[in-house]
Amino acid sequence: MLKLSLKQGQYVNIGDDIRVVYVGGSGGQGRLMIDAPKEVPIVRSSIEENPERRKDTYYPEKKISAKAQKEIERILWNERHHGDTAK
């Protein structure tokens, strides 16, 4: 979880195509403007419906095993060199 302090007009870029702009506020409320592609779902809520996302801290996903990584590399190599023969 990242906590930022922004002044009016300052923004945060998320990836290449999402921008969150702080447009002002007063008291306990702030206003944000979010510029994102239509396919990105943006949900406004004070209650997170997915219990896994209620965590206060970011927990990175467990890394995959070396065996799984080799298998993925093999599959990708086959796709690139042989194409999809299951059509």
- Range scoring the smallest mean pLDDT among 25-39, 40-54, 64-78: 40-54
pLDDT of residue 56: 54
Contact 1, 57 (CB under 8 A): yes
Per-residue pLDDT, averaged over 72-77, amounts to 89
pLDDT of residue 53: 60
Is the confidence at residue 4, as pLDDT, over 70? yes
Is the confidence at residue 16, as pLDDT, over 60? yes
The distance from CA 69 to its chain's CA centroid, rounded to whole angstroms, is: 23
Contact 37, 17 (CB under 8 A): yes
What pLDDT digit, counting tens, does each position of 17-45 carry?
999 999 988 888 889 999 998 888 887 77
Rg of the chain on CA atoms, in Å: 20
Read out DSSP for 4-29? ----TT-EEEETTTEEEEEEEEETTE
Q: Looking up tokens 């590399």, which residue turns up?
A: 73
